[in-house]
């Protein structure tokens, strides 16, 4: 039996529709959510992502403020801009598109964002709140993944969950969110011994390492839910995930495609955080 496809596009569309109604209510109270996006340089993947965010804002009714700065912009200039945005009452969310050019310290820049406007949830204050389970905002990609897992109907309580990848953006917060749902969580990385055996224990397998088609059919427990966060460009120009989709779909019960899986959910969760920031 072939796996059911978890379409991030379809789920994200439903979420955006709900958010559109929330924005209309806020406007009725004299508040229009505003999102400021800072992009430094013109890295193609970042530009596509920023454009997609702008489209989502337009669809939902969020005011979008874009600050496209040249690659040579100094760290001090970016920090001063963020301080100005922190004080702007029309802006409820601030997002700095990563990666930043090498001469800029990402950590220093992210620390400048007001935690109440940190809709990416990268500020240490928000990271700490996620750790203890008392959070306002969740990181957009892990939040989108949890939403997709819920749609499968699986009960995460006591489930064996394996996260492949330990980045601050996906892997670590993903593990925390699964723990908050009472799952038993294993985090794998480049030094994990016998990755295949560990993955094969998983009722839910989340993969976010940036290695094309790393996870084959024999890594997957029959009937597992497989969430592929990876986006890789192959030599032929096509996109693929960290999971070998054609192999995995014959073993998993649910699987996300690439593209059209986790990507649209990340942007939907960013919109959700921005609306929540405006409500706060």
The 34-40 sheet, strands edge to edge? 63-69, 34-40, 93-96
Question: Is 41's pLDDT higher than 90?
Answer: yes
Question: Is 256's pLDDT higher than 80?
Answer: yes
> Model pTM greater than 0.85?
yes
- Bridge-based pairing state of the strands 184-188 and 232-233: unpaired
- The CATH 3.40.50.10860 portion of the chain extends over 30-116
Question: Is 46's pLDDT higher than 90?
Answer: no
- pLDDT, one tens digit per residue, over 154-171 is 999 999 999 999 999 999
User: Looking at the DSSP assignment, which residues form a beta bridge with residue 206?
Assistant: 163, 227
The count of C-alpha atoms lying within 13 angstroms of the C-alpha of 189, restricted to the half-sphere facing its C-beta, is 9
Looking up tokens 């957009």 gives 140
Domain 139-263 matching CATH 3.40.50.720: the answer reads yes
Structure tokens at 174: 């993903």
CATH number of this structure's domain 30-116: 3.40.50.10860
Residue 120 annotated in active site: yes
- pLDDT, one tens digit per residue, over 177-230 is 999 999 999 999 999 999 999 999 999 999 999 999 999 999 999 999 999 999
- pLDDT, one tens digit per residue, over 7-31 is 999 999 999 999 999 999 999 999 9
Instruction: Tell me the C-alpha distance between 120 and 126, whole Å.
Output: 9
Number of Cβ within 10 Å of residue 273's Cβ equals 25
Residue 32 annotated in active site: no
Q: What is the mean pLDDT of residues 256-263?
A: 96
The answer to whether 13 and 59 have CB atoms below 8 angstroms apart is no
**Alpha helices, H only, 136-243:** 140-151, 171-180, 195-199
The answer to whether 123 and 111 have CB atoms below 8 angstroms apart is yes
- Of 22, 117, 118, 120, which is the active-site residue? 120
- The CATH 3.40.50.720 portion of the chain extends over 139-263
- pLDDT, one tens digit per residue, over 134-149 is 999 999 999 999 999 9
Instruction: For the chain, give the mean pLDDT.
Output: 96
Residue 53 annotated in active site: yes
- Of 22, 97, 272, 276, which is the active-site residue? 97
Structure tokens at 212: 């094309």
């Amino acid at each position: 039996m072939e796996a059911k496809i978890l379409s991030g596009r379809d789920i994200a569309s439903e979420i955006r529709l709900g958010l559109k109604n929330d924005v209309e209510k806020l406007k009725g109270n004299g508040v229009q959510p505003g999102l400021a996006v800072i992009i430094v340089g013109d890295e193609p993947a970042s530009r596509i992502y920023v454009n997609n965010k702008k489209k989502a804002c337009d669809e939902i009714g969020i005011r979008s403020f874009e600050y496209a700065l040249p690659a040579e912009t100094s760290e001090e200039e970016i920090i001063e801009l963020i301080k100005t945005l922190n004080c702007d009452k029309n802006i409820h969310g601030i997002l700095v598109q990563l990666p930043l050019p090498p001469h800029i310290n990402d950590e220093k820049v992210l620390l400048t964002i007001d935690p109440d406007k940190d809709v990416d949830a990268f500020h240490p204050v928000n990271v700490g709140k996620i750790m203890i389970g008392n959070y306002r905002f969740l990181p957009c990609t892990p939040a989108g993944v949890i939403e997709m897992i819920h749609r499968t109907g699986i009960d995460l309580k006591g489930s064996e969950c394996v996260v492949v990848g330990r980045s601050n953006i996906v892997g670590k917060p993903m593990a925390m969110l699964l723990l908050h749902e009472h799952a038993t969580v294993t985090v794998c990385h480049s030094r994990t011994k016998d990755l295949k055996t560990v993955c094969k224990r998983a009722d839910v397998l989340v993969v976010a390492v940036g290695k094309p088609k790393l996870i084959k059919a024999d890594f997957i427990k029959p009937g597992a839910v497989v969430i592929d966060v990876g986006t890789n460009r192959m030599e032929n120009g096509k996109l693929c995930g960290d999971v070998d989709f054609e192999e995995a779909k014959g073993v998993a019960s649910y699987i996300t495609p690439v593209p059209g899986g986790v990507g649209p959910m990340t942007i939907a969760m960013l919109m959700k955080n921005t609306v929540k920031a405006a409500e706060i």
